[in-house]
A = this chain, B = another copy of it.
Amino acid sequence: MGNKNIGLNLDGLDFSRECLEIYTQELQRGQQRLESGQEEFTGWYRLPFDYDRTELQRILEAAEEIRKKCTVFVVIGIGGSYLGTRAAVEWLEPAAKAGFPKICFAGQNISSRYHRSLLKELRDKDICLCVISKSGTTAEPSIAFGILKEFLIEKYGREEAGNRIYVITDREKGVLREETNREGYKSFVVPDDIGGRYSVLSAVGLLPIAAAGIDVKRMLEGAAAEAGRVSSGENGSELPKDPGMCYAAARNELYKRGKIIEVFEAYEPSLASFIEWLKQLFGESEGKCGKGIFPAGLQFSTDLHSMGQFLQEGNPVVFETILNVEDPGEDLIIPEGAGAALAGKGMSEVNRAALQGVTAAHRKAGISVIRIDLPKADPFVFGSAVWFFERACALSAYLLGVTPFDQPGVEQYKAEMRSVLEKE
């Protein structure tokens, strides 16, 4: 199991372990706050152990039912009801079983062009819908659900349409819960004690990810293994042994030194959406009270040919966090035609050399580079990584002196938007 753990590499950082240890007390206090379970919205912390087994069984059964009923499963949601599922589906595509429906997304924007194109694609497909919204009032998913429900009714008639709608919403209240009860849609629960950006290991992510043919039990096992490393004291729950704490301390130390942008970098394009998930996790948790590390994402080696110059020689306000997938899967051998220097090598070997070369070049230029090792693209590692980052993010936010689990700033634009719409 050793090689299945998430690893942290801080080589070359020009601060000593001692320098990080000044964070120990605050980190331990944060850890206690998470463990106590008394803080609001910390349900995700014990979720790998405490999840509702009956709900999970219902999710697996629903996923099987969805597989039989459709070739495209349209997932309607935004923010935390979108990014985690998308991250899992794209990263874990090779781990998905054959014969499961394709996952499409809707209601993650208000673009008519996007949704017209989606409707066109769905015209001759067998589809089911999954609508995910705690309140049922968020504009984007409400609009998309309205449009797709109408489409479904036209296609299948009202009764069969109802059989093809799966809802994940509040247990008791809200307009979506009311409609669900009235229409008899099959439904699952967005837990009260888990916020959107922390919800991918709840029904919010589990149903659509299971529907894609990904082993969600293994995902939960991965999260439980990572949580177990912390709770068992395997890491000593202290610096410098605990990778999550070290990562939280390192990024706070870098922030204090003026590194206010964290660039998440992956050498596999399949991690692009996982990085989007990280951006919400960190950006929404830390970006408040005039503070916060700005999270950005880059795909390498692609973006070395666009942002590489800036990283190497530009404004030195950036630190880098590499997401390193250690085993990228089956390789492709480079043929003769590609030139003598590369012929006969594996593409993944060259990709790894790029990672090592960039790391060396950036460290030589004085850029702080953190590397997080993710063993491979499988559900277990995904679950571990999710829980690792959720905890590290919460601990980071505590160090920064902000509440990790609220997002008071997202209401202002909605109010302004309503007022624009009412004026019209």
Contact = CB atoms under 8 A, between A and B. Distances in A.
A90 to B, nearest CB: 11
A21 interface: no
A312 B409 contact: yes
A69 interface: no
A342 to B, nearest CB: 6
A75 to B, nearest CB: 14
Nearest to A329: B113
A313 B82 CA distance: 23
A78 interface: yes
A110 B335 contact: no
A424 B356 CA distance: 12
A411 to B, nearest CB: 9
A364 to B, nearest CB: 7
A371 interface: no
Interface string A292-332: 11111001111111111111111111100000000011111
B338 A309 contact: no
Nearest to A414: B357
A341 interface: yes
A415 B290 CA distance: 40
Interface in A75-101: 78-80, 82-83, 94
Interface residues of A, number: 117
Instruction: Kindly report how many copies of this chain are found in the complex they form together.
Output: 2
Contacts of A54: none
B78 A356 contact: no
B111 A347 contact: yes
A159 interface: no
A309 B288 contact: yes
Contact of A419 (B143, B150, B357): B357
B150 A335 contact: yes
Contacts of A349: 421, 424
B358 A416 contact: yes
Contacts of A78: 301-302, 305
Given A260-B317, A413-B312, A345 B421 contact: yes
A86 to B, nearest CB: 10
Contact of A109 (B301, B317, B356, B412): B301
B334 A412 contact: no
Contacts of A19: none
Interface stretch (A1-9, A23-31, A225-233, A275-283): A275-283
Contacts of A346: 112
A221 B293 CA distance: 43
A269 interface: yes
Nearest to A406: B309
A71 interface: no
A283 B305 CA distance: 10
A335 B302 contact: no
Nearest to A416: B357
A15 interface: no
A330 B147 contact: no
A310 B294 contact: yes
A418 interface: yes
A108 interface: yes
A329 B283 contact: no
A303 B332 CA distance: 35
17 contacts: A109-B267, A109-B299, A111-B328, A113-B377, A115-B347, A139-B354, A140-B305, A143-B334, A145-B337, A145-B338, A150-B337, A296-B296, A304-B410, A308-B409, A312-B410, A313-B408, A354-B413
What 4 A-B pairs come out closest when comparing CB atoms? Answer: A146-B338, A287-B310, A287-B314, A357-B417
